[in-house]
Amino acid sequence: MKKIQLVTILFLGLLLQTSCQKKEQKKIQASDKPLTETTNIQPAILDSSNFIGEVEGKKVSLYWIKNENIQAAFTNYGGRLVSLLVKNKNNEFVDVVVGFKSIKDYQNSTEPYFGATIGRVGNRIAKGKFNLKGKSYSIPINNGENALHGGTKGYQDVVWNAEKTNDQTLVFTYVSPDMEMGFPGNLKVKVTYSVTNDNEVKMEYEATTDKTTIVNLTNHAFFNLNGEGNGTILNHIVQFNAKEYTPVDKGLIPTGKLETVIGTPFDFTKPHTIGERINTDNVQLVNGGGYDHNFVLNTTKGNNMIHVGSVTGDLSGVVMNVYTEEPGFQFYSGNFMQGKNTFKSGAKDDYRTAFALETQHFPDAPNQPNFPSITLEPKGVYHTVSVYKFSQKL
């Protein structure tokens, strides 16, 4: 009898242990634990209901465009890129664009430009003033004594019309009325975002005006190629196709000069990490609080456009090559990120945990006669394309 009881107890114990193992296995499979050492935070699953509603009486929503290798989420509030999933070296999706989980989070953010389509004029205009055909114009200042990214209410704060033309293409349109933020002319803007079968995110900008005006459109995605929330970007490896840059004063307004990068911390003609020289005793790095400067592109062609350069995530192996028809790009190393906002992954927007690489005409172009012009005439068409191509370094 004792033997039967002992066998029964052992059998029940074995069943209990097996059941616990199965439950624990299910827990692990369903958890948010990392799949690899290189992806510490998994891509956040966006709830589209958090993006559906109205802003200033206009409907807002969440839109996905995707193929097998790229998945991109946008909202028409600010024409924003919310999430960008690409494959890492382990063939797993990683979200390389930081963003928020709701429209409300974007509205309340202390940083207004995350992922946004920027206009009417990207970057800075000194003291918010410029002359055009003998007439003076003033833009509301919002960055010290200067105007940044279109003034106090740039295109990041408007609701765009959105049309998803196919699974891989999303078209945003917006009519910026005459004298909105002080800019002359009714400007009709069209921005087409698409993902291609060559692992690219393509950004195509178009605009027409009924009065002479100025235009400089771009996208202000903040990238962490190791994945949103996966630490600093200081160990990302950078190489740029730029032998010159435009130095700035303490207000980050260009001096008007083009200076060589050779022999300076701005020389990325060969690969360097972002953080390798960022704390060098250099007046330009002091003025920018790090890198926050316009680089002048060389004319070497690639992909029928100018090759801006490449950035590689040190942990993920994600490589981003950028091409553009623009003459320059702003490289920003996340110097003003302060950990005051919470990303969709639950991580904070801590200091230098994302970078921006904005293709563009040069800052303060209307006030710099030696810079390429951003003037658009009524009979002209503003058209420019930039491409962000992704691959993996194994």
Catalytic: 24?
no
Task: Report the length, in residues, of the chain.
Answer: 394
- Per residue, the 3-state secondary structure of 308-364, as one string, reads EEEEECCCCCEEEEEEECCCEEEEECCCCCCCCCECCCCCECCCCCCEEEEEECCCC
Of 214, 238, 257, at which residue does a domain stop? 214
pLDDT digits (tens, 9 = 90+) for 40-94: 566 778 999 999 999 999 999 999 999 999 999 999 999 999 999 999 999 999 9
199 with 56, same domain: the answer is yes
Which element (helix H / strand E) includes 30?
helix 2-30
Same domain, 164 and 276: no
Please tell me the pTM assigned to this model. Answer: 0.88
Non-local (6+) Cβ contacts of 111 within 8 A are: 336, 337, 341, 349
- Do 200 and 239 fall into the same domain? no
Of 149, 220, 236, 361, the active-site residue reads 220
Tell me: do 298 and 207 sit in the same domain.
Answer: no
- Same domain for 118 and 182, yes or no, is yes
Residue 198 and residue 326 in one domain: no
pLDDT in tens, 120-177: 999 999 999 999 999 999 999 999 999 999 999 999 999 999 999 999 999 999 999 9
Known catalytic residue: 361? no
User: What is the C-alpha separation between 125 and 362, in angstroms, rounded?
Assistant: 10
- Enclosing domain of residue 126: 48-214
Q: At 354, which CATH number?
A: 2.70.98.10
Buried b (16+ CB within 10 A) or exposed e, 57-76: eeebbbbbbeeebbbbbbbb
Asked whether residue 296 falls in the same domain as residue 163, the answer is no
292/217 Cα distance (integer angstroms): 18
The total of structural domains in the chain comes to: 2
Report how far residue 356's alpha carbon sits from residue 331's, in angstroms, rounded to the nearest whole number: 6
- Name 248's bridge partners: 254
Which of 200, 244, 326, 358 is catalytic? The answer is 358
197 assigned to some structural domain: yes
Contact 78, 193 (CB under 8 A): no
Is 338 part of any domain? yes
Residues 155 and 238 in one domain: no
Calculate ∠ Cα 84-206-69, nearest 5°. 25
